[in-house]
């Protein structure tokens, strides 16, 4: 669970006659990560590789067509059928079945699409005519006039003067058919020869013209009545067509799902075979399998083919293995933290998977910043509802994370003595019984909570350094293990830096206790800091020497050497600033805990002013609004800050990522995170 699954490289030599049986075993188990072994020159004399490519393309085309038909009928793929598709389906036979269903769906679907477009046009025409319904004039007379340009519509009242100004040099008629303070209904008319000028002026004055559909005559009221009757008839037609499609979906649902899974299975098999290396009578298959699944897979392969040749090569987790796919071991309860880690980077093969660590530190830091029993329980309930799919289904992947953070916030609420913002005497006065902090009240001990936050940050950073050293040791990266910024030299410099910081702040209330304790050790920390600082300055030289590379200094002579010294000093200065900022960044944990209490107190004061005390309804309404603010906006901000502390301060000390995703060959259309 602390490392990705151990992988084994596998190579298979399969006789042509057993090709489909073996491919089916590899696809059906969901444990084989295929690599491309179809190297140049592997195509047989018969050119069958090209044939497999054509088959794969044909199956993919059929699968897309089936998906379109199923979307039209609102039919989902369903679960894989219990029947076992042992061979690939005949393309022409399936194509004829697909075309038959497509023809049935297309006829009704096209009619439904046309009716919906017609309904949209009618509703648009109705919306345009309703503002001029009181106009007693046959508007159809305005259409296709030979000598008269005419425009009927609505215009913003503020733009009427602009229209008159724009038309000052041409003859025109402008009538207000219905007065309105915002948008009067007007009629603009003029000669056909001035139509361009009239149209530009109307557009610049934002005159919204009435566009009357063809075939309608009479006054606007008469046309509106006709359109409403057509809308009712069109809606009935749409309902009938939707019912027909629903009946068609019920009748064809089982057949469509069966065809979809047959075609999908055939497409997956064909895609896999295209990537096989092909000799004259055999196929070469290469890939990766988790070690724990290897024995069961090999047994199934030998059962499928008596003549198969299997060669396996276990892959050590030590060293650099960038080409090895990474399959993670985490269960469903750790999925939210695995998602957070993968957002930062996917672990490399053999690298420590920080998911377990994130599962501990993320809720812990979140709860410390957002400690409130009542608001935490609300977050816990909301997270569980989201995870169950009963609330905000689009955020379901975050449900458990929100629930974990809410539970942690509730626990810290008990430690801080805070329930929906009520603390101490205020809680006792309101509810009639006492609820004291089990540990500390941030708002009443500001410097103490800030010092504790820095102490927690120091401990996490030390853990990060130690894990980084461990990772370099596992990778046999001796150069960075010793002289890297996150290696032994970097860690030793950080310890010396903490000792000096502890001695400097030892008499201040905010002094971190961990740094003070380190500074009390009987060691010459100023000399150690200077020594390790010099080693950091020239770490690049030592790393190149250990790796067998020649240390390069840009430029020649004294000028090049001075430039190198400047760069080395800036490298050391960057390390100092980075270590200081990383340590002080954890102050925000205590600062947010204090701010949470301060904002709560501010909302109580505001509730007193607006609601007239605890006996007024406005007081409690204001408190509900305040708590909604905390549970939404502040909870989100705290989540972002918690991610920042992990991504920028913590994970970078020991975690590089860049691993290849484990993508097993599978017949299922859905793939779990691997």
Task: For residue range 453-468, list pLDDT tens digits in order.
Answer: 999 999 999 999 999 9
Q: Which of 343, 358, 382 is the last residue of a domain?
A: 343
Backbone angles phi, psi at 662, to 5 degrees: -80, 115
Q: Residue 544: pLDDT above 90?
A: no
Q: Residue 46: pLDDT above 60?
A: no
Q: Which of 321, 343, 365 is the last residue of a domain?
A: 343
Query: What are 173-196's pLDDT values in tens digits?
Result: 898 877 888 888 888 888 888 889
Residue 562 lies in a domain: no
Q: Residue 402: pLDDT above 90?
A: yes
Query: What are 227-251's pLDDT values in tens digits?
Result: 899 999 999 999 999 999 899 989 9
Query: What are 100-118's pLDDT values in tens digits?
Result: 888 888 888 889 999 999 9
Q: What is the CATH number of the domain that holds 143?
A: 3.30.70.2750
- Reference 383, options 366, 361, 358; nearest CA is 366
- For residues 156 and 214, membership in a common domain is answered with yes
In angstroms, the first-to-last Cα distance of the chain is 13
> What pLDDT is attached to residue 557?
65
3-state secondary structure 293-321: HHHHHHHHHHHHCCCCEEEEEECCCCCCC
Query: How many independent structural domains does the chain possess?
Result: 2
**What would the mean pLDDT of 263-271 be, rounded to a whole number?**
90
Cα separation of 106 and 118, whole Å? Answer: 18
> What pLDDT is attached to residue 670?
53
C-alpha dihedral (9, 13, 19, 24), degrees to nearest 10: -20
The range of the structural domain enclosing residue 219 comes to 127-228
Residue 318 lies in a domain: yes
Residue 53 lies in a domain: no
Cα separation of 237 and 245, whole Å? Answer: 12
- Reference 309, options 22, 52, 664, 24; nearest CA is 22
Residue 332 lies in a domain: yes
Which range is most confident: 301-305, 558-562, 600-604?
301-305
Q: Residue 674: pLDDT above 70?
A: no
Q: Residue 145: pLDDT above 80?
A: no
Cα separation of 627 and 295, whole Å? Answer: 56
Instruction: Supply the mean pLDDT for the chain.
Output: 87
Cα separation of 69 and 58, whole Å? Answer: 17
Query: What are 609-620's pLDDT values in tens digits?
Result: 776 666 677 778
Close Cβ partners of 340 (under 8 Å, ≥ 6 residues apart): 358, 362, 401, 643, 646
Q: What is the CATH number of the domain that holds 18?
A: 3.30.70.120
- Reference 518, options 494, 486, 482, 483; nearest CA is 494
Cα separation of 482 and 473, whole Å? Answer: 10
CA–CA distances in Å: residue 526 to residues 120, 228, 324, 495, 501: 80, 90, 45, 11, 11
Q: Residue 58's pLDDT band (boundaries 50, 70, 90)?
A: very high
Residue 288 lies in a domain: yes
> What pLDDT is attached to residue 39?
61
**What would the mean pLDDT of 303-322 be, rounded to a whole number?**
86
Residue 464 lies in a domain: no
Residue 203 lies in a domain: yes
Residue 591 lies in a domain: no
- For residues 299 and 218, membership in a common domain is answered with no
């Amino acid at each position: 669970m602390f490392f990705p699954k151990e992988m084994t490289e596998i190579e298979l030599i399969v006789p042509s006659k057993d090709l489909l049986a073996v491919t089916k075993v590899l696809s059906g188990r969901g444990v084989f990560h295929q690599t491309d072994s179809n190297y140049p020159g592997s195509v047989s004399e018969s050119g069958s590789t090209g044939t497999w490519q054509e088959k794969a393309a044909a199956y993919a085309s059929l699968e897309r067509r089936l998906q379109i038909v199923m979307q039209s009928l609102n039919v989902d793929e369903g679960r894989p059928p219990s029947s076992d598709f042992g061979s690939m389906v005949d393309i022409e036979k399936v194509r004829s079945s697909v075309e038959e269903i497509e023809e049935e769906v297309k006829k009704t679907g096209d009619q439904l699409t046309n009716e919906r477009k017609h309904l949209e046009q009618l509703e648009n025409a109705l919306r345009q005519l309703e503002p001029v319904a009181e106009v007693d004039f046959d508007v159809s007379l305005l259409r296709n006039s030979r000598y008269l340009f005419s425009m009927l519509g609505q215009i913003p009242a503020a733009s009427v003067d602009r229209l008159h100004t724009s038309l000052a040099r041409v003859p025109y008629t402008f009538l207000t058919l219905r007065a309105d303070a915002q948008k009067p209904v007007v009629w603009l008319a003029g000669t056909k020869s001035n139509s361009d000028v009239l149209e530009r002026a109307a557009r610049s004055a934002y005159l919204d013209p009435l566009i009357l559909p063809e075939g309608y005559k009479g006054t606007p009221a008469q046309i509106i009545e006709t359109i409403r009757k057509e809308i009712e008839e069109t809606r009935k037609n749409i309902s009938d067509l939707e019912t027909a499609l629903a009946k068609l979906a019920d009748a064809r649902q089982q057949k469509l799902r069966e065809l979809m899974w047959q075609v999908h299975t055939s497409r997956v098999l064909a895609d896999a075979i295209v990537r096989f290396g092909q000799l004259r009578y055999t196929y070469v298959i290469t890939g990766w399998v988790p070690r724990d699944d290897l024995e069961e897979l090999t047994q199934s392969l030998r059962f499928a083919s008596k003549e198969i040749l299997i060669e396996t090569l276990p892959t050590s987790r030590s060293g650099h293995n960038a080409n090895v796919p990474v399959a993670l071991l985490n269960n469903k309860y750790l999925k939210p933290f695995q998602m957070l880690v993968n957002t930062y980077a996917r672990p490399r093969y053999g690298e420590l998977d920080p998911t377990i660590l994130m599962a501990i530190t993320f809720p812990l830091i979140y709860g410390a910043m957002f400690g409130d029993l009542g608001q935490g329980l609300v977050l816990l309930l909301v997270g569980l509802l989201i995870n169950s799919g009963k609330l905000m289904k689009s955020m379901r992947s975050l449900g458990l994370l929100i629930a974990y953070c809410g539970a942690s916030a509730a626990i810290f609420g008990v430690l801080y003595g805070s329930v929906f913002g009520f603390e101490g005497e205020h809680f006792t006065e309101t509810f009639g019984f006492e609820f004291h902090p089990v540990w500390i009240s941030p708002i009443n001990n500001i410097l103490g909570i800030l010092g504790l936050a820095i102490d927690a940050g120091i401990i996490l950073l030390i853990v990060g350094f130690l894990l980084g050293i461990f990772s370099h040791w596992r990778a046999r990266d001796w150069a960075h293990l010793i002289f890297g910024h996150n290696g032994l030299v970097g860690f030793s410099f950080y310890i010396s830096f903490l000792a000096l910081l502890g001695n400097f702040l030892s008499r201040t209330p905010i002094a971190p206790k961990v740094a003070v304790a380190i500074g009390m050790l009987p060691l010459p920390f100023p000399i150690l800091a200077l020594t390790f600082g010099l080693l950091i300055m020239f770490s690049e030289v030592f790393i190149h020497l250990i790796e067998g590379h020649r240390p390069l200094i840009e430029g020649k002579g004294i000028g090049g050497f001075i430039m190198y010294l400047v760069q080395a000093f800036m490298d050391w200065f960057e390390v100092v600033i980075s270590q200081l900022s990383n340590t002080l960044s954890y102050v925000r944990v205590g600062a947010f805990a204090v701010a949470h209490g301060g904002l709560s107190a501010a909302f109580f004061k505001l509730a007193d002013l607006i609601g007239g005390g605890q006996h007024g309804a406005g007081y409690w309404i204001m408190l509900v609004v305040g708590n909604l603010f905390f549970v939404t906006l502040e909870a989100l901000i705290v989540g972002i800050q918690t991610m920042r502390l992990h991504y920028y301060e913590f994970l970078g000390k020991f975690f590089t990522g860049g691993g290849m995703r484990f993508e097993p060959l599978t017949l299922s259309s859905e793939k779990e995170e691997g």
